[in-house]
Amino acid sequence: MRGQFGLTTLIIFIALIVTAAVAAGVIIYTTQTLQQRALQTGAEAKERVSTGIEVARVFGYQFDGSTLNNNLQKVTVVAPVVRLMAGSQPINFNDFSILLTTENGAFYAISLTTQIPAAVHGILEGGNVKLTGFVYQGSVDVLNVTINDNATCRSINNHTGAYLEAVGGDAPCYIALNTSIIDTPMGLDESLKVLEEMRQIGVSLPSLLVGLAVRNSNVYIESGELYEWRFYIKDGVRPEEKYSLQIIPKGGYPAQIEGRIPTVLQAPFEDIWAK
């Protein structure tokens, strides 16, 4: 009996040791896994917080579709001046989403990741803008875009103008920039007329990316660069109207500002970031 009791005790003791060893292994594995996940999550959070842009100023233009007009008394081109946040990695312009809302209920959602080219790119030189091309599919110098989607093609209007040509209808269709305007100095009025023609062919919210200080002419905004992003909104924002502007990079920190259009618009363009 004593021998059996001693053997049973030994078996139970060994089982307890094995169980404790297995449990310890599970705890160590779980701790390591959680630590790895915490480190990964922390790195992702740090990257998200440090990736983004900041708004330096916001200009408003009174553009009536053909010229700048200080009697229009509404802002039809909203133009934030943007740069990277300190420590941010370069950001692809196609990875931005822009939301503009007004206190009167207007809502504008802008994205460059569409089948139709929604933005043109240019560089400011000597007070004039030199266009490089459409911002489209990873480039800023695309001159011709062919579209093979019937629904998209049917939304495009046939157009032949001074700056753009478009043929819509059944696929394939196309949109092309006039090569004569590429790298040619354009005044402010003329550069905005390109946006009016884009609106005429069916781009609902066209925009113009103007590099004010650019190190590399590509589809990324990089450290040290300064861009003015001009969004053409035909209906416009009226004097004294409050607005909210959000510029949201994919996987990054959004820039958000709120402002009010001045009571009287005295010049064709002016600073509209009034608190």
Helices (H), the chain: 2-50, 150-154, 188-201
- Identify residue 28 by its one-letter amino acid code: I
pLDDT of the residue at 5: 55
For the whole model, what pTM was predicted?
Answer: 0.81
pLDDT of the residue at 219: 96
pLDDT of the residue at 7: 61
Q: List the chain domain ranges.
A: 1-50, 53-143+178-271
Helices (H), 202-267: none
Residue where the block lists tokens 């091309």: 133
pLDDT of the residue at 44: 43
Which of helix, strand or coil describes residue 184? coil
Cα 135 to chain centroid distance, Å, stands at 12
pLDDT of the residue at 37: 55
Distance CA 149, CA 154 (A): 9
pLDDT of the residue at 42: 42
Q: Could you tell me what percentage of the chain is helix, strand and coil, using 3-state DSSP and rounding each to the nearest 5?
A: 25, 40, 30
pLDDT of the residue at 22: 60
HEC profile for 59-124? EEECECCCCECCCCCCEEEEEEEEEECCCCCCEEHHHEEEEEEECCCCEEEEECCCCCCCEEEEEE
Question: Sign of the C-alpha dihedral, residues 70, 245, 126, 117?
Answer: negative
pLDDT of the residue at 43: 41
- Identify residue 192 by its one-letter amino acid code: L
Q: What is the mean pLDDT of each run of 10 residues along the chain (275 residues)?
A: 59 66 59 51 46 95 93 95 96 96 93 92 96 96 96 96 96 96 95 97 96 95 97 94 95 93 93 78
| Bridge pairing between strands 173-177 and 144-147 | antiparallel
CB-CB neighbours of 241 under 10 Å: 16
